[in-house]
């Protein structure tokens, strides 16, 4: 059996370089929340199913509960806090607000990041494509229709993929 020792990791979170000493078994989710204070990344299921801990790793959505913090070493992370800038909501967030797409709000960061990453790939996705992409983000308020409306409306504004 190994004797666990902490390892140094360095990654950027929302453009800012962060360092931490982590055990190999620490999840990225625990390190982001408990060490670095990113409480917008949320613990839901711990199995990669619910999507509340979604972060973007080099621009791609991943479950922070299934990534070891050591595996994020040298990579770039985006949390929902990195979407807005200077106190201004990102237009996708504004669309969520307009459409009433957040109820309790627990799933919202994961929904926003997954939708944002989709719009980088496909700025004008069909409703079916949005639905399929968001299938791994659960909303227990069951507010799915408004969430699809919000992403679709934002995409129709034609500004997805330009920020």
Partner 1 sequence: MVAAPFGYECVSSFEEAAQALQRRGEDAKVIAGGQSLVPMLNLRLARPAWLVDINPVGAGPIEDHGGYLRLPALTRHRAIEESDVVRRRCPILAEAAARVGNVRTRTRGTIGGSLAHADPAAELPCVAVALGAEVTARGPDGARDVAAGDLLVSYLTTTLEPDEVVAEVRVPTLGPRSGWSFLEMSRRSSDWMVVGVAAVVELDDDGTVAAGSVAFGGVAERPWPVPAEVLADLLGAAPEEALLQRVAERAAAMLHPDDDVHASGQYRRRLAAVLGRRALAEAAARARGHGGSAP
Closer residue to partner 1 (CB): 22 or 36: 22
Q: Does 35 bind partner 1 (CB under 8 A)?
A: no
Is the distance from CB of 6 to CB of 23 less than 8 angstroms? yes
Q: Does 161 bind partner 1 (CB under 8 A)?
A: no
Nearest approach in angstroms of CB 144 to partner 1 is 13
Closer residue to partner 1 (CB): 5 or 87: 5
Closer residue to partner 1 (CB): 88 or 142: 142
Structure tokens at 60: 């791609």
Q: Which of 24, 100, 105, 158 binds partner 1 (CB under 8 A)?
A: 24
Q: Count the neighbouring beta carbons within 10 Å of the beta carbon of residue 29.
A: 23
Q: Count the neighbouring beta carbons within 10 Å of the beta carbon of residue 116.
A: 24
Residues 74-113 interacting with partner 1 (rule: CB under 8 A): none
Q: Which stretch binds partner 1 (CB under 8 A): 47-55, 80-88, 91-99, 154-162?
A: 47-55
Q: Which of 93, 96, 114, 148 binds partner 1 (CB under 8 A)?
A: 114
Q: Rounding to the nearest 10 degrees, give the CA dihedral for residues 84, 117, 69, 30.
A: 60
Cα–Cα nearest to 115, from 50, 57, 161 = 161
Q: Does 142 bind partner 1 (CB under 8 A)?
A: no
CA atoms of 32 and 131, how far apart (whole Å): 28
Q: Does 136 bind partner 1 (CB under 8 A)?
A: yes
Site size for partner 1, by CB under 8 A?
35
Q: Does 47 bind partner 1 (CB under 8 A)?
A: yes
Q: Which of 9, 20, 36, 67 binds partner 1 (CB under 8 A)?
A: 67
Cα–Cα nearest to 51, from 88, 80, 93, 75 = 80
Is the distance from CB of 77 to CB of 12 less than 8 angstroms? yes
């Amino acid at each position: 059996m190994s004797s666990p020792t902490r390892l140094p990791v360095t990654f950027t979170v929302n453009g800012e370089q962060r360092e931490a000493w982590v055990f190999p078994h620490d999840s990225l989710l625990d390190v982001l929340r408990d060490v670095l204070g990113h409480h917008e990344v949320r613990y839901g299921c711990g199995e990669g199913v619910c999507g509340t801990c979604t972060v973007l790793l080099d621009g791609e959505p991943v479950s922070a509960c299934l990534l070891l913090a050591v595996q994020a070493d040298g990579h770039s992370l985006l949390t929902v806090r990195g979407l807005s800038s200077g106190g201004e909501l990102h237009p996708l967030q504004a669309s969520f607000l307009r459409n009433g797409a957040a109820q309790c709000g627990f799933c919202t960061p994961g929904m926003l990041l997954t939708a944002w990453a989709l719009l980088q790939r496909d700025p004008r996705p069909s409703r079916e494509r949005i639905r399929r992409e968001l299938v791994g983000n659960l909303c227990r308020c069951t507010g799915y229709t408004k969430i699809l409306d919000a992403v679709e409306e934002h995409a129709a504004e034609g500004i997805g993929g330009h920020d």
